[in-house]
Amino acid sequence: MPTEVALLESRALRVEQMGRVDALDKVKSLVMLPDGIHVRTEDVARYFEVSTEVVKKVTQRHRAEMEENGLRLLRGSDLRTFNRDMVSLLDAGQGESYPQAHAQLTLYTRRTVLNVAMLLRDSDIARCVRTYLLDAEQDLRAGYASLEHRVTRVESCLAGVGTALQELGPVLNRMSLRLDSLDRRLERTHQVVGAVSVRLGGVSEDVVRLDGRMDELARNLKDLSRRNRNRRGVLES
């Protein structure tokens, strides 16, 4: 885990922390300009409770690094445009006064202010910001360690599952073969049932024809019986 001294001395370590601008408001509220994006040198000094000269010296020594993190120097038309925009924003709000720079204006973003916090040695606020960053990183590393341990446990469990699946493979193969055999037997049974159904259809037709013939025979017997009775009646008379 990096130390506060390492953070002060190593630009690479500072780069790793540049996304943690939330650390600023965790320690102290940073009052922004009306655009909600920038602050001036005096605003940075007020935040860290140091003089503007201290902030300027840190900025001069590490200007290239800070410019990579949003430091801007406005002059001429750019400065006039910026001042006009700030006045417009204030007029749209509560109408507070905005002190305009005469020749130039240095602007800091939240990333730049965080950059100052990791470079400014003689400020209790800056030290608190660094401490917050380091503590948060320690908690994050602990979380990663815990997660890595849990992943390791899951991997070990998966290894056991893999072995079980290898042992289960032959059993599943045998079950698949038996199911295939059962499917073939069922198919043959369906074929036999289909053939029986066809034969039963033919038997049904035969039964219908037989019923017709039986009805016809019954009618013939009735006619024969009636004729016999008529003959006996004639003979007796």
Nearest to 50 by CA among 116, 97, 137: 116
| DSSP code, position 39 | E
Is the whole-model pTM more than 0.85?
no
pLDDT tens column, 25-78: 999 999 999 999 999 999 999 999 999 999 999 999 999 999 999 999 999 999
Distances (CA, A) of 135 to 7, 131, 143: 13, 6, 12
Distances (CA, A) of 98 to 42, 148, 181: 13, 52, 90
Label residue 130 exposed, middle or buried (CB < 10 Å: 0-12, 13-18, 19+). Answer: buried
Cα–Cα dist 145/88, whole Å: 51
Label residue 87 exposed, middle or buried (CB < 10 Å: 0-12, 13-18, 19+). Answer: middle
**What are the two backbone dihedrals, phi and then psi, of residue 150, each rounded to the nearest 5 degrees?**
-65, -40
pLDDT tens column, 91-127: 766 556 677 667 899 999 999 999 999 999 989 999 9
pLDDT of residue 101: 64
pLDDT tens column, 117-146: 999 998 999 999 999 999 987 765 654 544
Nearest to 107 by CA among 41, 193, 19, 63: 41
The answer to whether 106 and 59 have CB atoms below 8 angstroms apart is: yes
Tokens standing for residue 125: 């606020």
